[in-house]
Structure 1
């Protein structure tokens, strides 16, 4: 039996949730639920300029739409909350004080201009840019003088030389060296906390013991492990997943195909499609069929995560959406497609019409042409026109007589046409479909004919007879 784990998703509400964030949330949800664990949602909203309440609410809506419910977080507070970092200033203040008292954190009065000049010099010498330790050993008199000059201090964590190693869930053993990291900021000059600090402290205090996050956070991990060790707090086991990239191999962005979760929802994608696609993007699943979240979790394991870049493929996403639509209950389809329909579908005919066209739907917009076929006027495609023009002339006479005699009983209509014309197979079905629907492929004609009705069907056959 797997040991229960606690994972988390900790986004910053500074913009729309994109696919990379959704995938990170999904992987953490699946990891927790694969072992009967807990999934925590935390809002890292300390960016006072960019974080906004409406963006936080939109993010929660996106997670709810995907079905990624959280066991603790906004709206599900427990003893470890609050779960918005903007409300946790008092918690952080105590830990800052503890580090300063232990001599592990100190105020730094260097200006951004001074630090940039140092970084330029380091790069010129071929060295990695890092803080040179200018304020490491300031005396009380030095601090008084600098404060009298009007300088505002950041708070830096003191990093000593030595090895920092950890086992990554995805990438195996990782080793860093303190002398290559340098002392880093844990509180900004305006008093707001840094990501390194709050992210690490909150994971420990909220009981998070597994973290899957993007590989761009890999170099943050040694800093966070140092903080937690000094504070005597437990560290989670980290796993750094591959980043999503576009066709050009660059990180996924709007420029190379990325869309937000909200944009996918508005475009008619089902949440099951997004989940099934993302769950397999950089993770191997044994089962190739459309799966519910619980079944995806049952097949999820950290060992199945790949280190190779995960290339976004909209055709694969479309494939999963087609699967989701085809597996959906008919009652769910009407609210999905009704807002984009221009042709009126009579209420009494909706259930039969949905059942008839569902196998041919991928997006809500696909439904309009089949609404027109059954209840409106159709525009013939070039392929359909060619089929009608190339049809055996006897077909139209036979079809007209068959419809007049048998109404919309499709099986009887077919038998009548075959008997009067001798036509069968493609010579019968393709031009007949083209004449009745304006397309050479689509839903089965049997269920469509009663929906379009005898009068509409006869009118189309007579038009084909005239054009052919």
Structure 2
């Protein structure tokens, strides 16, 4: 095997980068990083009808957001057609592939006969060249497909790094098509040539590919190529225990960005989906790379747990740098049409709230109250801004116009107002919150007043007084 570990992530651009694909990419990336190897990105865009430039961009955006930088690529299969056709010519010349002229109708009839006999439907090798066998004359005007001469005897076996030893009898596999009648190569063939040309040493991919592996190994052997190690990751189930799908909410990885998750929380969460390092739940990307191996990937399906992801996200929000969070929030506010510059410094507001929210959108909701006009619901105003409350707020306004602008002085002004009107803290603080931010619950009121700034506080109080 080549001395340098070389892994690849090879999505088909027929949709977004989803969670299952992102986990595959993360594991392949981490394995290459752990062993000082190379991580290759390959776009398998041979399904021309379904591949779109938008989907390619969505994959690249998702990889960038997760911080999974490729060392080589992206390579596009559509740009490698000449190479595939060259290898097919070599295989035809070597006798490891052959032309097959069986029509669609003949194949349908063959399948019907086999099903009637309760046999597994498969191509019967009628055009396969064999010693002593006379082949029919090729029909005029028919473009043949190219089929691979699959071995008839023995088994294909490999030690899967996740699932253990897997053996498939060659008698179970038929001579599958490697080039269609129009000359375009098929998926299973392109993958083999790519893995060979790119020197891939470890193929880490979803277990929906297990059935492709024996065919791919046989073609690699026919080409005299090194067979990589395979690691097939089990599927991810939704919170409800069924296969993860669109109805489980987030389809695209970028939806998690939209929903206010931090990339490092998603990476940490994905790392724990089917892999573990003892009981460690929270770890950095660097720590993950240092620990990652294929031995601790569980062969059973991993179950997605939104609560766990939310818990991790809240943890990372608390740890995050205020300046970075302020920038994230500013972007979100701007997308809502709210001017993030229209109020106090966002870093100061973020510092008040980041331990109280679960995601960036909730953080943006909180910050918006500081930078945009707030319009409390009439029932909230009626409940909290009573005549007694307004009288207390009027006295407080007078004090706030004069005091030194720091938390201690603001706190004292509130206490003096309570004493003057014979009120308890909530009887002053809650109406003040409603007048300033339109909501009855906020962080410590003296901190809120300090961050909002004297001018904004007096202006907002004056609307109700």
Settle same-fold status: TM greater than 0.5: yes
Match of 1:406 in 2: 403
Residue 184 of structure 1 and its aligned partner are, at CA, apart by 1.3
SS at match of 1:145: coil
| Counterparts of 1:387 and 1:289, CA distance in 2 | 42
Residue 166 of structure 1 and its aligned partner are, at CA, apart by 0.8
In structure 2, relative to structure 1, the CA distance for the partners of 1:326 and 1:190 (3 Å cut) is: farther
| Counterparts of 1:310 and 1:428, CA distance in 2 | 51
In structure 2, relative to structure 1, the CA distance for the partners of 1:104 and 1:349 (3 Å cut) is: closer
Residue 28 of structure 1 and its aligned partner are, at CA, apart by 0.4
SS at match of 2:165: strand
Match of 2:309 in 1: 317
CA contact (8 A) 2:405 2:450 kept: yes
Residue 194 of structure 1 and its aligned partner are, at CA, apart by 1.7
Residue 348 of structure 1 and its aligned partner are, at CA, apart by 6.3
Is 1:289 matched with 2:282?
yes
| Counterparts of 2:307 and 2:382, CA distance in 1 | 29
Q: Deviations over 1:424-465 (max 9, x none)?
A: 77777667655654434443434321233446546777999x
Match of 1:36 in 2: 36
TM-score, length-scaled by structure 1: 0.82
Structure 2 spans left out of the alignment, 5+ residues: none
Equivalent residues, number: 453
| Counterparts of 1:114 and 1:299, CA distance in 2 | 54
**Could you tell which deviates more after superposition, 392-401 or 182-191?**
392-401
Match of 1:364 in 2: 361
| Counterparts of 1:28 and 1:108, CA distance in 2 | 37
- RMSD value over aligned CA atoms? 3.6
TM-score, length-scaled by structure 2: 0.83
CA contact (8 A) 1:10 1:41 kept: yes
**Could you tell which deviates more after superposition, 154-163 or 406-415?**
406-415
CA contact (8 A) 2:14 2:50 kept: yes
Residue 40 of structure 1 and its aligned partner are, at CA, apart by 0.9
Residue 133 of structure 1 and its aligned partner are, at CA, apart by 2.1
| Counterparts of 1:117 and 1:313, CA distance in 2 | 48
Match of 2:249 in 1: 257
Match of 1:77 in 2: none
In structure 2, relative to structure 1, the CA distance for the partners of 1:343 and 1:49 (3 Å cut) is: closer
SS at match of 2:282: coil
Match of 1:355 in 2: 351
Give matches, 1:61-460, under 5 Å: 61-74=61-74, 83-137=75-129, 142=135, 144-146=137-139, 148=140, 150-285=142-277, 286-289=279-282, 291=284, 293-332=285-324, 333-334=326-327, 335-344=330-339, 345-346=341-342, 349-361=345-357, 362-364=359-361, 366-373=363-370, 376-379=373-376, 399=396, 403=400, 406=403, 408-418=405-415, 420-421=418-419, 433=433, 436-454=436-454, 457=457
SS at match of 1:207: coil
Match of 1:26 in 2: 26
Residue 12 of structure 1 and its aligned partner are, at CA, apart by 2.0
Residue 403 of structure 1 and its aligned partner are, at CA, apart by 3.7
Residue 210 of structure 1 and its aligned partner are, at CA, apart by 0.8
Residue 203 of structure 1 and its aligned partner are, at CA, apart by 1.1
| Counterparts of 2:81 and 2:414, CA distance in 1 | 80
Residue 248 of structure 1 and its aligned partner are, at CA, apart by 4.5
Residue 151 of structure 1 and its aligned partner are, at CA, apart by 4.8
| Counterparts of 1:446 and 1:374, CA distance in 2 | 18
Residue 401 of structure 1 and its aligned partner are, at CA, apart by 6.5
CA contact (8 A) 2:62 2:254 kept: yes
| Counterparts of 2:344 and 2:442, CA distance in 1 | 22
Structure 1 spans left out of the alignment, 5+ residues: 75-82
**Could you tell which deviates more after superposition, 244-253 or 271-280?**
244-253
Residue 352 of structure 1 and its aligned partner are, at CA, apart by 2.7
| Counterparts of 1:234 and 1:19, CA distance in 2 | 31
| Counterparts of 1:140 and 1:339, CA distance in 2 | 74
| Counterparts of 1:298 and 1:383, CA distance in 2 | 53
| Counterparts of 2:107 and 2:241, CA distance in 1 | 33
In structure 2, relative to structure 1, the CA distance for the partners of 1:438 and 1:120 (3 Å cut) is: farther
| Counterparts of 2:116 and 2:289, CA distance in 1 | 49
SS at match of 2:348: helix
Residue 245 of structure 1 and its aligned partner are, at CA, apart by 2.6
**Could you tell which deviates more after superposition, 90-99 or 274-283?**
90-99
Q: Deviations over 1:51-102 (max 9, x none)?
A: 344543442233222211111113xxxxxxxx32223233333432343334
| Counterparts of 1:304 and 1:239, CA distance in 2 | 12
